[in-house]
Amino acid sequence: MKQSTALDLRVYAGLIAFGILGPILFPDYVQTIAVMWLMVLMAVTWDITGGQMGYNSLGNVCFFGIGMYASAIVQISQFTDVAAYTAAFGAIRVEFTDAQYFTGLFLGLIAGGIAAAVFALLIGPAMLGLRGPYFAIGTLGLAVAVGELVAGWGYVGGGGGISMPVYPGDAGAGAWMFYVLLAVLALGTHLVVRWLYSTQFGLAINAIRDDEDKADAMGIHANRYKTMAWAFAAFFMGIGGAIFGNMSGFIEPLEVAFPTATFGIFMVAMALLGGKGTLWGPVLGAILFHIVKEVTWTYLLGWQWVALGAIIIINIVYFQQGILGWAQDRWPAAFGLTVDRGGAARPAAGEAAE
């Protein structure tokens, strides 16, 4: 246990060092590295329910979009009427003072997180009653439905989208600020999640993953824990969405806020690539996936999506336990696991819940 804490500290130190040095050494890639932190955040939050609890959601991206739209509404509604603002399609330019912008942003981020978490708490009891593939399909449907509903909602501009408030001052400084926000959020989320897994809560959701009915029979309030875990994931995803919305400057329902077929599936693929159900797997997977994605974007222009689809299929079909999952099976002692060679071994993280 103590050894793993030391190791974790070293990894955190490495990540922080990269987070600071990376954009300084490669100033052209500030945006790219910021998106990498977002990917880390997505993979880590997906893994709360997907890896640790065995509820494979395909629709967690809806929290991302809800957070984004909640922050947009909060930030804009403080100073002008949202309906008039969106109806004008950017013709109304609101000049924010610095103080106004930053209080708006702060409130917007909090509102994004809370709105997403509240949404998860509301739908959680119903959706989380579904099991296995039905849950996956149901959440996929949910994400598509929320995206379509927002696209038809005139108040927030419908399919036309909203332009977010513009960062007052130098655009380069704005990019840096959003970079720092995303990096801090991703690392902070990982710290919170790490703490979460070390508590009784972590044990409870692991028990639900291994056998929900037994866990229920042993007195774990499965429904309560499931909803709570989902709301945790939703809260951080919501804040991430709010930051990303402000970073991109313009939000639109189908491509930016509720990209079910891109970010929605990427987060699953990233967590699987690194090894779902492990603490560092999603982080590793997200960083690797992001690098692969950027490389294919650069060198395979036009074919990048095809390459990504192929990578996802290969990852899932041939290498499902992921990198850390594989390492964990190979050298269990290094992860502090004891394997009972005689009896039933601990099931690999990827095969739980069925």
Partner 1 sequence: MIDNLYLLTQAPILGVDLIIQGLFIGAVFALIAYGLALVWGVMNVKNLAQGDMVILGGYITYQATLWGYHPIVALPAAIVLMFMLGWIIYVLIIRRVVDRDMFTSLLATFGLSLLIQQVLNLIYGPEVKVAESGFGDFEVGSFIIIQNVRLYSLLLAAALALAIVIFMKKSRMGQAIRATAQDARAARVLGIDTDQVYAFTYALNASICGAAGVLVAMIWVIQPYYGIVYSIRAFIIVTAAGLGNLPGVILTGFGLGVWENVAGFVFGAEFAVAAVVIMLVAVLMYRLVQLYRVRQVVR
Judged by beta carbon, residue 22 or residue 253, the one nearer partner 1 is 253
Binding span for partner 1 by CB under 8 A among 90-98, 171-179, 238-246, 306-314: 306-314
* Least Å from the CB of residue 9 to partner 1: 34
Q: Which of the ranges 77-85, 89-97, 124-132, 277-285 carries the binding residues for partner 1, by CB under 8 A? A: 124-132
Q: How far apart, in Å, are the Cα atoms of 227 and each of 53, 65, 205, 223? A: 11, 19, 10, 6
Q: Is the dihedral of CA 341, 346, 347, 349 positive or negative?
A: negative
From the list 2-10, 177-185, 278-286, 314-322, the region that binds partner 1 by CB under 8 A is 314-322
- Rule CB under 8 A: say whether 302 interacts with partner 1: yes
Looking at the Cβ atoms of 313 and 337, the one nearer to partner 1 is: 313
In sequence order, what are the beta bridge partners of 250? 163
Q: At closest approach, how far in Å is the CB of 328 from partner 1? A: 18
SS3 of residue 250 by DSSP:
strand
Number of residues that bind partner 1 (CB under 8 A): 44
Q: Which segment (96-104, 122-130, 161-169, 322-330) binds partner 1 by CB under 8 A? A: 122-130
Q: Does 90 bind partner 1 (CB under 8 A)?
A: no
* Burial per residue of 150-161, b for 16 or more beta-carbon CB atoms within 10 angstroms, e otherwise: bbeeeebbbeeb
Please give the single-letter amino acid code of residue 34.
A
Q: Does 134 bind partner 1 (CB under 8 A)?
A: yes
Mind giving me the DSSP string for 273-332? HH-TTSSSHHHHHHHHHHHHHHHHHHHSTTTHHHHHHHHHHHHHHH-TTHHHHHHHHH-G
Using rule CB under 8 A, residue 169 touches partner 1:
no
- 306 is a contact residue toward partner 1 (CB under 8 A): yes
Gap between the Cα atoms of 276 and 86, Å rounded: 40
d(CA 165, CA 150): 20
CB of 65 to partner 1, least distance (A): 14
Q: What is the DSSP string of 74-109?
A: HHHHTTS-HHHHHHTTT-S-----HHHHHHHHHHHH
Question: Which residue, 107 or 261, has its beta carbon nearer to partner 1?
Answer: 261
Location of structure tokens 């692991």: 206
Cα–Cα dist 294/305, whole Å: 11
Contacting range for partner 1; rule: CB under 8 A; set: 91-99, 165-173, 285-293, 307-315: 307-315
Interface with partner 1 includes 318 (CB under 8 A)?
yes
Q: Using CB atoms within 10 Å of the CB of residue 201, give its burial: 0 to 12 exposed, 13 to 18 middle, 19+ buried.
A: middle
3-state helix, strand, coil in the chain (%, to 5): 75, 0, 25
Per CB under 8 A, does 272 bind partner 1?
yes
From 31-39, 89-97, 112-120, 126-134, span contacting partner 1 (CB under 8 A): 126-134
Site string for partner 1, 331-350 (x = CB under 8 A): --------------------
Footprint of partner 1 on this chain (CB under 8 A)?
A: 56, 58, 126, 129-130, 132-134, 136-138, 140-142, 144-145, 148-149, 151-152, 158-159, 260-261, 265, 268-269, 272, 302-303, 305-306, 308-310, 312-313, 316-318, 320, 351, 353-354
